[in-house]
Amino acid sequence: MNALSRLTQSNVRPYTLINKDNGFKTCIHKHNLNFSPYFFNAIGSVFTAAGVGVMSGSKKLQSKIFGAPFIFAGSIIITLLGMTSLYAGNQVTETQQYIRLSQNAIQQYEQSGEYATALKIARDGYEESLKLGLAHEIASFSKSVKRLEAELLALGSSRLLFDENYQPRAKLLQLLELVGMEPLNESEKAILQINNWAQKNLLRQGERWQEQTSKFEALKLKIKPLLGELGFINASSPHFNEYQGALVHGALLPRVRLRLHYLVEQWKQGIKFSHLYFLSGERPLVAEQESEDLFMQDKDSPLKIRKDWSTPIRFPRTECEMMQLVWDQSEIPETMRKEVQVHFINAPMKIDPKSEKLLRPTTDDTVEYWLKTAPPYGNYLAITNAPYTNRQDLVVRALAPYYGLDTICSGASEQEKVATFLDELARFIFQTKQLSEK
272-280: average pLDDT = 98
- Asked whether the beta carbons of 391 and 407 are under 8 A apart, the reply is no
pLDDT at 18 over 70: no
**What's the pLDDT at 130?**
78
Say whether pLDDT at 66 is over 60. no
What is the pLDDT at residue 3? 37
Task: Tell me the pLDDT band of 84, cut-offs 50, 70 and 90.
Answer: very low
Q: Which residues of 151-162 are buried (b: 16+ CB within 10 A; e: fewer)?
A: bbbebbbbbbbb
pLDDT for res 115: 96
* pLDDT tens for each residue of 149-190: 999 999 999 999 999 999 999 999 999 999 999 999 988 999
- Across the range 317-337, mean pLDDT stands at 97
- Contact predicate 257/303, CB 8 Å: yes
CA-CA-CA-CA torsion sign (394, 399, 403, 409) = negative
Q: How much is the pLDDT for 61? A: 46
Comparison of pLDDT for 80 and 212, the residue scoring more? 212
Q: Is the pLDDT of residue 198 over 50?
A: yes
* Mean per-residue pLDDT, 281-290: 95
- pLDDT higher than 50, residue 318: yes
Determine how many CB atoms are found less than 10 A away from the CB of residue 38: 11
pLDDT in tens, 213-241: 888 999 999 999 999 999 999 999 999 99
Residue 212 clears pLDDT 90, i.e. is over it: no
CATH of domain 242-411: 3.40.50
Mean pLDDT over 55-81 rounds to 48
Percent of the chain with pLDDT over 90: 67
- The stretch 132-148 carries a mean pLDDT of 87
Over 60: is that where the pLDDT of 397 sits? yes
Q: Encode pLDDT of 364-384 as tens digits.
A: 999 999 999 999 999 999 999
pLDDT tens, residue by residue, 329-346: 999 999 999 999 999 999
Nearest one of 323, 336, 339 to 278, comparing CA atoms: 323
pLDDT at 20: 44
In this predicted structure, the answer to whether residue 285 has a pLDDT above a threshold of 90 is yes
Nearest 5°: CA angle at 208, between 202 and 211? Answer: 85
| Least confident segment among 42-56, 138-152, 388-402 | 42-56
Q: pLDDT-based confidence at 108, cuts 50/70/90?
A: very high
Average pLDDT over the chain reads 84
d(CA 105, CA 328): 45
- Nearest Cα to 326, choosing from 344, 339, 341? 344
pLDDT of amino acid 63:
46
Residue 55 is predicted with a pLDDT of 46
Segment 353-358 shows an average pLDDT of 83
Answer whether residue 14 shows pLDDT above 90: no
Q: What pLDDT is attached to residue 22?
A: 56
* pLDDT higher than 80, residue 264: yes
Residue 89: per-residue pLDDT: 43
Looking at the predicted structure, is the pLDDT value of residue 428 above 60? yes
Q: How many CB atoms lie within 10 A of CB 105?
A: 23
Query: Smallest Cα–Cα separation from 399: which of 340, 344, 347?
Result: 347
357 pLDDT band, cuts 50/70/90, is confident
Which of 317, 298, 310, 308 is closest to 260 using CA atoms? 298
Q: Is 15 in a helix, a strand, or coil?
A: helix
Dist. CA 384–CA 389, nearest whole Å: 6
pLDDT band at 4 (very low <50, low <70, confident <90, very high): very low
Report pLDDT for 353.
Answer: 83
Tell me what pLDDT residue 77 has: 55
**Mean pLDDT calculated for residue range 205-210:** 76
How far out from the chain centre does Cα 283 lie? 31
What are the residue ranges spanned by the domains of the chain? 3-155, 164-231+414-438, 242-411
